[in-house]
Amino acid sequence: MSDSETVIRIPLRKLSIATVMLPLSAFILCIYLSLRYNFTMSTATHCGVPNYLPSISSAIGEFVPQRYIWRAAIAVHSAPRFLLAAMYNSFMKRILSNAGDYQSMVKVTTALNVVENIALLGLSFVSSKENYNIHKFFFIVFMVCSELYMVITYLLLKYNKIRLTTPLERIAYLKKKQLMMANVTSFFVALYFFYRHNTYCEPGMYSIFAFLEYLVVLTNMGFHMTAYYDFHNHDLIVGEWKTASS
């Protein structure tokens, strides 16, 4: 017979916090450093009108040390993100109805979650300054996958919320709903101000776009942070297997 001895036990609620805090801290630091030391260059646009906030692409990819801070945080956080994607695959299978359509959608949401993480790695390690087309491709893939992942996940839980059996799971569902709605709203309003900036070159329009872009990123992080509630009482255990003599 065989048994195992626990080597490492990590509460998933703490892992989910650490996974979000890495990019969140790097994001805030990169914005601060860009405003503090690279204000003129980071806020400049082709229009040449006054702006007061850098875009995310500019803040995380065009200057040093911001570029390396962001890349390090994204690289380290990506491994637990893949682990949590696998955890959500099992979680959604348990929560959702056994109907074939629902179970098929679990595969879709898992794929979207994984591709979103891969695209985030891609856009982080290939800046717009280094290769605009590749950065743009990864950015589009990231946005499409993240928006679809949040919307589909929310809808699946909405039509199966009777299966959310614990108070923490219900809290996570409500927060997912709020963050998804805030994210989608911020995204489309950001597109409007981006259009106005490019079409009319009005002062400050790009700053409003950049602020809404920050909200899109922050609400996306918050949506993934709901893993804190979904897996609050779960642990990641690394064990050493030992064979016991009978």
pLDDT band at 241 (very low <50, low <70, confident <90, very high): low
Q: What is the per-residue pLDDT for 2?
A: 47
Least confident segment among 96-110, 131-145, 185-199, 203-217:
96-110
Q: Is 241 exposed, middle or buried (0-12, 13-18, 19+ CB in 10 A)?
A: exposed
Q: What confidence score (pLDDT) does residue 240 get?
A: 66
pLDDT tier, 189 (very low <50, low <70, confident <90, very high otherwise): very high
The model's pLDDT over 83-134, given as tens digits with 9 standing for 90+, comes to 999 999 999 999 888 877 888 999 999 999 999 999 999 999 998 888 989 9
Q: Nearest to residue 132, comparing CAs of 58, 205, 42?
A: 58
**Who contacts 109 (Cβ-Cβ below 8 Å, separation ≥6)?**
88, 92, 149, 152, 153, 156
Kindly give, in sequence order, each residue whose CB lies less than 8 Å from that of residue 229, ignoring residues fewer than 6 positions away: 168, 169, 171, 172, 175
C-alpha 232/C-alpha 226 separation (Å) is 10
Residues paired with 20 in a beta bridge: none
CA dihedral over 81, 86, 87, 91, signed as positive or negative: positive
pLDDT for 27: 98
Q: pLDDT at residue 76 above 80?
A: yes
Q: Between 1 and 46, whose confidence is greater?
A: 46
- % of the chain beyond a pLDDT of 90: 80
The reported pLDDT for the residue numbered 136 is 93
Find, among 185, 54, 23, 158, the residue nearest to 97 by Cα.
Answer: 158
Per the CB < 8 A criterion, the answer to whether 67 and 127 are in contact is yes
pLDDT at 5 over 50: yes
- The domain spans of the chain are 2-243
pLDDT (tens digit per residue) in 17-67? 999 999 999 999 999 999 999 999 999 988 889 999 999 999 999 999 999
Whether the link from the prior residue into 11 is cis, omega within 30° of 0, is no
Q: Which two tokens stand for residue 121?
A: 């790695």
